[in-house]
Structure 1
Amino acid sequence: MDLGSPTYTVSMWFRRILVPVDGSENSMRALELALDFSMRYGSKVTVIYACNRCSDAEEVKARVKEKLNEKIEYEYRTVDVPQDSSISNEILRTLSEGVFDAVIMGARGNTTNSDINTGSNALSIVVNAPITVIVVR
Structure 2
Amino acid sequence: MDILVPVDGSDCSFRALDFAADMAPRYDADLHVVHFAESETDATDAVRDRARTLLDAQGVDAEPEVTTDADFEFRPGDRVGDDILSLVDERGYDHVVMGHHGAGTIERAILGSAAETVLHAEKVPVTVIP
TM-score w.r.t. structure 2 length? Answer: 0.78
* Separation in structure 2 between the aligned mates of residue 75 and residue 97 of structure 1, nearest angstrom: 18
Query: Are residues 61 and 129 of structure 1, via their aligned partners in 2, closer, same or farther at CA, if it must alter by over 3 Å?
Result: farther
Match of 2:86 in 1: 93
Q: Unaligned stretches of 5+ in structure 1? A: 1-14
Match of 1:5 in 2: none
Q: Unaligned stretches of 5+ in structure 2? A: none
Match of 1:60 in 2: 47
Matching of residue 108 in structure 1 with residue 96 in structure 2? no
Write 1 or 2 for the structure with the bigger share of helix. 2
**Amino acid corresponding to residue 63 of structure 2 in structure 1:** E
1:53, distance to aligned residue in structure 2 (A) = 5.6
Match of 1:132 in 2: 125
Q: Secondary structure at the match of 2:22?
A: helix
Of structures 1 and 2, the larger Rg is shown by 1
Contact 1:81 1:90 in 2 (8 A): no
Q: Secondary structure at the match of 1:68?
A: helix
Q: What is the aligned counterpart of 1:76 among 33, 57, 64?
A: 64
* Separation in structure 2 between the aligned mates of residue 31 and residue 45 of structure 1, nearest angstrom: 9
TM-score w.r.t. structure 1 length? Answer: 0.74
